[in-house]
Amino acid sequence: MPAPPDEVTRLLRRFSAGDELAAEALIPLIYAELHDIAERQMRHERGDHTLQPTALVNEAFLRLAGNHNADWQNRQHFLSLAAQAMRRILVDHARRRNAQKRGGRQEKIELDDALRVGSDDTDGLDLESLDQSLKQLADLDPRQARVVELRFFGGLSVEDTAAVLDISTATVKRDWAFARAWLKRDLTRNR
């Protein structure tokens, strides 16, 4: 059962103010949700990936905890930042792996399959290409890029995404549909 949102928000604020005891109290309250996000993101990785969800959670939490200027507003805000951190870790990991292989080849899949939230059939997704396309989308429309990050990488529902971004669910649905189409076109063009 998730912790009361007010308790998590209170602890996040204490933690961002430098209270290390708040971090100790916070971890058990949000760990399961962070692990769920990590598992969803790892579904998009190849089967023999060396990074495990627990390690991904730990590394993301360390990155977030190391940000001394953090101003976490609430549980959803923190989880969205954790999802972003996990995405960056996985992209960095993929870049290092590909740099070690001369001409490292990645399997491609259809973006419609890859951007289906909760989909299990995304083995081999080229995260580097998706990351580049997402950066380009962010230059054109930062909100649409955030919708993709929250829905695809964070696994948030339409309603949770709307709450994090403080927009309507109809806007999230429109942004999600447009962003998927734009990313599919961009990734297909860059094959």
**Residue pLDDT, tens place only, 70-113:** 778 888 888 888 988 898 888 888 777 766 654 444 444 444 55
Whether residue 141 is predicted with pLDDT greater than 70 in this model: the reply is: yes
- Each residue's pLDDT tens digit, 148-190: 888 887 778 888 888 888 899 999 999 999 898 888 888 877 6
**Mean pLDDT, the chain, integer:** 79
**Which residues, 6+ apart, have CB-to-CB distance to 14 below 8 Å?**
21, 22
Rounded mean pLDDT, 129-155 = 87
Of 116 and 65, the structure prediction assigns the larger pLDDT to: 65
The SS3 assignment for 183 reads: helix
Express each pLDDT in 110-123 by its tens digit: 445 555 443 444 44
Sign of CA dihedral 116, 120, 121, 123: positive
How many CA atoms lie within 13 Å of 10's alpha carbon, on the beta-carbon side? 7
Neighbours of 127 (CB within 10 A): 22
Percentage above 70 pLDDT, the chain: 79
What pLDDT is stored for residue 153 in this prediction?
Answer: 78
